[in-house]
A and B are shown apart, each in its own frame.
Chain A
Amino acid sequence: MSQASLDRETFEVFRNWRINRAQYAKEWKHRTGGKVMGYFCTYVPEELIYAAGILPVRILGSHEVQDVTEPHIFAMFCPFCRDCLAQGLKGKYDYLDGITIAQSCLHIRQAFTSWQKHIPIDYSYYLPMPHHVQSPRATPFLTKELELFKGSLEKWLGKTIDDQAIDNAIDVYNRNRQFMWKVFELRKGDTPPLTGEEAMELVLSSQMVDKQDHNAALEGLLTRLSKREKTRPAGTRLMILGSEDDDIEFVRMVESCNSTFVIDDHCTGTRYFWNNVESDGDRLGRIADRYVTRVPCPSKDWPNRTRVDHVLKLAKDYGVQGAIVMQQKFCDPHELDNPALIKALNGAGIKTLFLEFDVTVPIGQFKVRVEAFLEILQEDDLF
């Protein structure tokens, strides 16, 4: 088998999970007899859902033009939230038994509330995830909200979620995070054994499948990656950051131009798995604390803008030469952070390319801009 075939096979399982997410969920239901819960934002405490024997799956868009959400969401809100709702209205998530959201931005919650109203679903839950995550009051508040959420799930399912199930869920999720950390650590090397596209496949698939299945696959992947021939030169080392972004095609295009994304700050990337649930304290309190103290979405990053230091540290740790700032059209939280982030990155000597994207990415136009950006960075290397 050729190296190229081996490379493809290494990530095939993750890619298949992402592409065939509906089939996976349906098979999982058949196999386990469990329910499937769609969630709209990575602030949803999946551990609690998983402990209830439910498969949490992230609702994402399709990157296809759609015409079904105009009556439901005003066009000034982000294309991503409309794309997510479109999937529901078109019946693409007909295997869901419930939906939930943890309070984050105003945009995505509209996908949730319209879904509640217009798409028949057995169960829905709005979790008032606190915004003031820098306050010591946030964790106690969320802990109490998690108690209510737990009670609601128990009532729906007609069973108790016991401590052992919660411990197991925490363990499964923490293991997944640790595996992801290990894989991402490898990207620090001069010749990373995986591309940004492959890294994105890992994170996206982890949001769609049973973490135990994902853990087993990651464990195998780590072994294979250690043996993978490092024949692909990294080229220019890039970071990608910004709004929700699961655009594999864009990442592939950039990496076809003699560059590699070595790290990200996306909720479809590191922000999703960067922090663990700690081991001390009561169970729900620990889960609450994890979501309060995780790397924040800009909508919750105030009064201090902690993301700047975090992003700069990532850039330094991963040897980043340039950063592509992806701005989902109309995404206010990121629009509020980007000028400061760009200034900080540039101040640290890291040039940036700002791109505003829709659910459909103009690959041709973006390629011209990306190539010009890479040319500038490569000239820096010369001089």
Chain B
Amino acid sequence: MSKNGKYKTAPLKCWARVKELRKKYYEDYAKAHDRNGLRWAGGAWSFSAIPSGLGEDVWSLTSEPYAASIAFNKEFSLRCLEATEKAGYARDLCAYMRNYWGSIILNEYAFGGTFPKPDFIWQDHICCSHAKWYQVVCDLEGVIPHFSMDVAAGPYNEIAPHKIDYLVNQMHDGIEWLEKTTGRTYNDELLIEAVKNEFRSTSTWAEICTYNKHVPAPLEEKTMYSLYVLGTLDKHSREVADFYEELRDEVKDRVDQGIAAIPNERCRLMSDTQPPWGFLSIFRYMEEFGAISVGSLYTYGLIGIWEDKPDGSWGPRTTPMEQGIEIKDRDQALRLYADWTLSKPEWQHFYSPHLKTEMMARIAKEWHLNGILLHYNRGCEGLSVGIAENRLGLIEAGFPVMAFEGNMGDEREFDEARVRVRFDTFMETLGIKKDGKS
């Protein structure tokens, strides 16, 4: 920790590009039918490279980031949440899901116009809500062809051929279903290209995150949310894979030049689970203490794919292309894709919170952290599962932990003032005062 140190800062050069890509993503989906293209909806974790084999005019709307965009707009979000509750759905269900359903019920697209109904649903399932989310979408919008895959084959440290087979066989079934549903002939070349793009983007994102091990950190988490989101939208696209390489080069350059995310970094933290999207200002409040969240298992491992490096550190997983593997056919592409994705860090805690605690403790150590903020997130049971055990485990491992309750997508369940007070107290326990206070 650099006491009262001042670092030089600079805005990200690629900031405008990331905003442009995100805007284009939502527009492409909405306008797909104008181009005689196809629209599909599914989760950010779905095997999005697979529908790419249907053609280059296929656009998606991934549910969680779309719902997070709604949550950021508190007025619209509240209307969505209330519409969902009025339709009879429980208030304690996933907040993303409720925002998304509300957008359908109100028939309002968060980016303008009416809600664009998908041509088919392509989803995966690991938490209780994933496939069920779209079952309700079908209840609300009328019948939409729906294919969901089960990915809960067990933790990656127990990977076995039959687990890969389970996923790959469902993928093959899914491709057959896609052909039947859309009437299109599937193109394996497009699949292979998309899978390779995804290997590249998810590994590169992990590499970008490793640069935050540097003190001062070149990125802070609030900014990272705007960057990682591309991987939740279109991780299989060439544009996103190329963008992440561009970003990686810029972040590396920031490290080389000593450019920091905040000028007064003196306390390094990480968060956990999604933030309360309507209240990202809390990250700016933290900066008043010289405190920076350098990321989280969430921002690193939601889309980033990682591996143990020979020196014992955590780093980007080596892609099949880097290993010299030539992908020749559909089955090989799907096998590599299944194995790759099953190693996703944010899937491991579904089987045991203790696996997550180990990963978090590892981040805390390798990223030189002073403390950990745990968002007990009422809006997401999937990422909050086991969080109380994470708290116990991290404390046992010797890390200061601050827990706070909130909701990523329901502003009615986040008390900003109280969280700020709690943060003040946490800073006090770490012996850190606000800038200008002696």
Contacts and interface: CB of A to CB of B under 8 A. Distances in A.
Given A110-B386, A114-B389, A132 B150 contact: yes
B376 A299 contact: no
A333 B128 contact: yes
A33 interface: no
Given A106-B128, A114-B389, A137 B94 contact: no
Interface string B120-164: 000001011101111110010000001111101110000010110
A126 B351 CA distance: 8
Nearest to A327: B90
A327 B129 CA distance: 16
B328 to A, nearest CB: 24
A266 B109 CA distance: 39
Nearest to A141: B166
Contacts of B89: 335, 339
Contacts of B150: 130-132, 135, 138
B368 interface: no
B94 A332 contact: yes
Nearest to B90: A335
Interface stretch (A71-79, A159-167, A248-256, A367-375): A71-79
A31 interface: no
A136 B413 CA distance: 41
A120 interface: no
Contacts of B148: 132, 302-303
Interface string A300-319: 00110100000000000000
Given A137-B169, A303-B134, A332 B154 contact: no
A90 interface: no
B249 interface: no
A87 to B, nearest CB: 18
Nearest to B88: A339
Contact of B388 (A71, A130, A342): A71
Nearest to A106: B385
Interface of B: 87-90, 92-94, 125, 127-129, 131-136, 139, 146-150, 152-154, 160, 162-163, 165-166, 169-170, 173, 350-354, 376, 378, 381-382, 384-389, 391-392
Interface of A: 70-74, 76-77, 103, 105-107, 109-110, 113-114, 116-117, 126, 128, 130-132, 135-138, 140-141, 144-145, 148, 298-299, 302-303, 305, 327, 329-330, 332-333, 335-340, 342
12 contacts: A71-B388, A77-B381, A109-B351, A130-B150, A132-B131, A141-B163, A303-B146, A333-B132, A336-B93, A336-B133, A337-B132, A339-B87
